[in-house]
Structure 1
Amino acid sequence: MKQIKFQKSTNKEFTTTLQDRVNEYFKGNGTKRYGGRTMVIKTIVMLSLFFIPIGFIGSGLIQSVWLLFALYILSGLGMAGIGMGVMHDAIHGSYSQNPKVNKYLGYTMNLIGANSRVWKVQHNVLHHTYTNIDQGDDDINAPLFLRFSPNAKRYWIHRFQHFYVWFFYGLSTISWITTKDFVRALRYRKMGLLKGDFKKVLLKISGWKVLYYSYALVLPLIMVPLPAWIILLAFLSMHFVTGLLISLIFQTAHILEETSFPKADEKGIIADAWATHQLATTSNYAPKSRIFSWLIGGLNFQVEHHLFPNISHVHYSKISKIVAKTAEEFKIPYLVNPSFLSALTDHAKMLRQLGRA
């Protein structure tokens, strides 16, 4: 990947003003940037939502096929909640002021079958730094049959992606728990983004996955008095629900008709400053839906998250007013969809557009 840089001289006053105002908000309210009690409650709720149904399944008391599927899908909702509302803050270092708390709660991603170290490179480094930049943002570096950027090569099959993409969104966490972490770990090592003894890295990734499969699938296969193919199908349904939910929440903030997909010049420089680049490539949705926001870890405020990833999502609804006002003053677009449905519709239109031009 070519080294990509942002203009430092562009919109410096906007960036400084915005940072000062957000800092003043926390100082004036005597509030810390971290999650506090709210995050502790959410963590207990989401971990319980995942582990309690899995525990019932592993107990061997479940004999009904429909109850088996219901419990696995319920765990899938908890899994999505852990990913969006617990692990996400922890890996960004915004869950707690204590780095060890962030580190250990970041391991909740490992407990649901993926790998926090690989995710940290993919998400914190590549996605947050190079948002919507082809070959830079790993969230839009899609497999051959999907096209998420107008700057990516288009193939004939992309004409139909707005029909079949939803199925592959559902497979995304199945990919995580099987091959994706290993493939990306190898690529990140070649890019110089994954340091340390690579054999130990692979062993740790493998060890966590063995632990996950042991209680989420192997134990149910041993204990549940139902055919193995039914248990496996129920397990896959859990991941399909999780993958679909997480993909829709993240993709509807970036792959839209209104968002930009900037290209670097021949020197690898993006015309915008980093902060204004985030505003151009990211959109909020459903800003007035408090319950929805709580459930998805504040990721309906993706603009604020991208500008201030070191601030816990519990504060995004408050600081969004500061960001919107400052952007308006400096005549910088602040993208927002009124509802999740409108964002989802916009995303589907963009997928169709990307398949045709």
Structure 2
Amino acid sequence: MSLDSSHRGGHAFAEPPGIRDEPLKFSGDNSFHRELRQRVEAEFKRTGTRQRDSAQMYLKTTIILATFALSYVALVWFAVSWWQGLGLALVLGTATALIGFNIMHDGGHQAYSRHARVNRLMALALDMVGGSSYIWQWKHGRFHHTWVNVSGHDSDIELGVLGRLSPSQPRRPWHRWQHIYLWLLYGVTALRWHLYGDFRDLISGTIGERPFSRPRGWDLARLLLGKLVFFTLAFGLPLMFHPLGTVLLFYTLVSAVAGVLLALVFQMAHVVEEAAFPLPDASGRRIDTPWAIHQMQTTVDFARDSRVLSWLIGGLNFQIEHHLFPRISHVHYPMVARVVEATCREHGVPYLTHRSFAAGIASHYRLLRRLGASEPAIDGMPVPVLPPG
């Protein structure tokens, strides 16, 4: 039983042949990270708990997938009124987000099972609901998890010209209203994955500003087959029983619900006032902070006392624990959090958290407003941008 070693020593992910070497690395004393790993390892041994292959997780998977299947079948074949369709669309959109938060997320991070095939199968749940587990692994699993909140490296904070999520990103005139309009755009998050984003990344060979290794062979086949399955579920089967306008309306509604939920939960962890937006040193090749400290500075937990919320969103309210130990199943994050918080106190490392989900939402709103109202990062706005060192 060993802890995740994807960031051992604080170095970035190794990229496959054909991708330019990534120069941005972390430096500094890694003793805090080593101590964390040892203590969390000891806690799992003391309690006799397995880090993966949890019966609780398998039961949770069954409940979520059953909810998704039943709401889909009821919406397509049994709904006979607009209010029935509306209610089922809300349930189906929520179940879609729960698949992403729980099943796919643990599988994609190899946190679901000790067995690679099980993890791969669970990760493919994202392909079933319209995304691409292959592209997600690059965009989120590698680029985001390694370089959190570093503009130009963390593709999760890149919205192009539509939004300014980091003080180091250029400000456009329309960003002054982003604290209003971005909430609406969050609703098209899933739609963009389904219809444009994954295809754009596949064709261009880039995710945001970053090149990645295009899928080949079975990886490409799984991506394309996943899209075929999704489009069959979203359009093919419903069009056999309903007019085009009705199908498009409910597809949009389901996708909007899923998109808003997905966007909000992930934004609450990093794009908030308390999170830092670190800058590389003058060479542009190094961040003078150990990797684990970087994760602590750029990540914020929220609503840790809410068991219901934690169950629904796959423990992503424990984002600090997830970033430090991405290969541990999220059902164990409350236990891990106790160890992490205690270790932070002993080492004098800040442990950032919001008491509630509403507090996180408010902090995100305030940051969007401040980023939209100010000039670029060097204007001295009081957003926590960490200089080198």
TM-score by structure 2 length?
Answer: 0.87
Distance 1:28 1:203 in 2: 43
Q: Does residue 330 of the first structure (1) align with residue 350 of the second (2)?
A: no
Distance 1:82 1:155 in 2: 35
Secondary structure at the counterpart of residue 316 of structure 2:
coil
Matching residue's letter, 2:143: L
2:213 is aligned with 1:197 = no
Residue 35 of structure 1 deviates from its aligned partner by 4.4
Aligned residues: 351
11, 17, 24: which one aligns with 1:4: 24
Q: What is the DSSP-based 3-state SS (H/G/I as helix, E as strand, rest coil) of the residue aligned with 1:166?
A: helix
- Inter-partner Cα distance in structure 2 for 1:239 and 1:335: 31
**Counterpart residue type for residue 352 of structure 1:** R
SS at match of 1:171: helix
Indicate conservation of the 8 Å contact 2:179/2:365, yes or no.
Answer: yes
- Equivalent residue for 1:135, pick from 146, 152, 156: 152
CA contact (8 A) 2:153 2:210 kept: no
Question: Amino acid of the residue matched to residue 289 of structure 2?
Answer: D
Matched residues in 2 for 1:337 and 1:90: separation?
A: 27
Question: Is the aligned partner of 1:318 residue 2:342?
Answer: no
* SS of aligned partner of 1:144: helix
Deviation digits for residues 114-137 of structure 1 (CA, Å, limit 9, x no counterpart): 110000100110000000000100
For residues 130 and 364 of structure 2, what CA distance do their matches in structure 1 show? Answer: 28
2:280 is aligned with 1:280:
no
Instruction: Map Cα deviations across residues 155-178 of structure 1 (whole Å, 9 max, x no partner).
Output: 111100000001111100000111
Matches for 1:265-304 after TM superposition, within 5 Å: 265-267=281-283, 268-304=285-321
Residue identity matched to 1:110: D
1:152 equivalent in structure 2: 169
Matching residue of 1:43: 61
* Counterparts of 2:222 and 2:111, CA distance in 1: 24
Deviation (angstroms), 1:211: 1.4
Q: Deviations over 1:60-103 (max 9, x none)?
A: x3321221222122111110110001100001001011111001
Task: Tell me, in whole angstroms, the C-alpha distance in 2 between the residues paired with 1:183 and 1:215.
Answer: 22
1:98-113 → structure 2 map (5 Å cutoff): 98-113=115-130
* Change beyond 3 A, Cα 1:162–1:191: closer
Mapped to 1, the partners of 2:356 and 2:350 lie a distance apart of 18
The yes-or-no answer on 1:238 pairing with 2:257 is: no
Cα contact 2:113–2:119 (8 A) shared by 1: yes
Distance 2:51 2:162 in 1: 41
- For the residue of structure 1 that corresponds to 2:182, the secondary structure is helix
SS of the residue corresponding to residue 334 of structure 1 reads coil
**2:381 corresponds to which residue?**
none
Q: Is the 8 A contact 2:165 2:271 kept in 1?
A: yes
2-side partners of 1:308 and 1:83: how far apart? 18
Say which is worse superposed, 128-137 or 62-71, in terms of deviation. Answer: 62-71
Give me the TM-score of the superposition, normalised by structure 1.
Answer: 0.94
The question of whether the paired residues in 1 share the 8 Å contact of 2:134 and 2:215 is answered with no
List gaps (5 residues or longer) in structure 1.
none
Q: Is the 8 A contact 2:268 2:364 kept in 1?
A: yes
Indicate conservation of the 8 Å contact 2:272/2:364, yes or no: yes
Q: Name the CA distance, whole Å, in 2 between partners of 1:210 and 1:216.
A: 10
Give, in whole Å, the separation in 1 of the partners of 2:62 and 2:120.
17
The aligned counterpart of 2:387 is none
Farther off after superposition, 62-71 or 102-111: 62-71
Distance 2:219 2:34 in 1: 39
1:174 paired with 2:194, answer no
Task: Output the CA distance in 2 between the equivalents of 1:346 and 1:35.
Answer: 35
Judging changes above 3 Å, is the alpha-carbon distance between structure 1 residues 197 and 191 closer, same or farther for their aligned structure 2 residues? farther
CA contact (8 A) 2:299 2:352 kept: yes
Once the 2 structures are TM-superposed, how far is the Cα of residue 213 of structure 1 from its aligned partner? 1.5
